[in-house]
Amino acid sequence: MAGGPAAASVDAIAKRAGVSRTTIYKWWPSSASIVLEGLLESVQHSIVRPPGSSSAEALHHHVRELNRILSHPPTGPLLRNVIAAAASDPAITCAVLDQWIVPRRDAAAEILRAAVAAGELSDDIDIEVAVDALVSPPYYRLTLGMEPLDDAAVSHLTDTVWRGLRR
């Protein structure tokens, strides 16, 4: 996904590939769908829990890695453009949710479920709300073009949410 958002137009992609715009549109309905496919190929499908980590450590790792992915050029700016396109394209919305958002949310939810099963967290927590509290800040900052969270802010976020979920 070299070149960032400026290089992600159908015209630019067709020119680099040495094909016509029509050829591109035979395979992809929009530049956002091309960019999403490229992002999915270049970024790990989900964030993997480090072997031997505690649930709290795994949660810190998950949010830190998500923040790193979203703040890494060109990934962050490209994903921001895809999310913007999703606002007016239901097919892109479904693709972003199914292929990008849900796998990463599921990984965070699995960490929380394991912590509940181990008795580290209260068994009456709402997993979806907890995941929202953890992963929304990096996406919020990405979509609004704000500076990404630094490592200290990520640690503070995960520590604060973790404390609120404990027994």
Rounded distance between C-alpha atoms, residue 134 and residue 120, angstroms = 17
Prediction pTM value: 0.85
User: Are 80 and 142 spatial neighbours (Cβ–Cβ below 8 Å)?
Assistant: yes
- Residue 63 near residue 158, CB atoms below 8 Å: yes
Above 70 in pLDDT, residue 2? Answer: no
Angle, helix 127-143 to helix 75-86, in steps of 10 degrees = 110
Structure tokens at 167: 């027994």
Mean pLDDT of 92-104: 94
- Rg (alpha carbons) of the chain, rounded to whole number: 18
Percentage, residues of the chain above pLDDT 90: 69
State mean pLDDT over 16-30: 82
- Are 78 and 35 in contact, with CB atoms under 8 Å apart? yes
pLDDT of residue 8: 66
pLDDT at residue number 14? 80
Buried b (16+ CB within 10 A) or exposed e, 36-58: bebbeeebeebbebeeeeebbeb
Helix or strand run (H / E) with residue 7: none
**Does the pLDDT of residue 167 top 80, yes or no?**
no
Q: Is the pLDDT score of 1 beyond 90?
A: no
Task: Render pLDDT for 26-76 as a digit per residue (tens, 0 to 9).
Answer: 888 888 888 888 888 888 767 889 999 999 999 999 999 999 999 998 899
Average per-residue pLDDT for the chain: 90
Residue 10 confidence class, pLDDT cut points 50, 70, 90: confident
Whole-number pLDDT of residue 6: 53
Distance CA 82, CA 36 (A): 7
CATH of 31-165, one of 1.10.357.10, 3.30.70.3420, 3.40.50.300, 1.10.1060.10: 1.10.357.10
SS3 category, 85: helix
pLDDT for res 5: 53
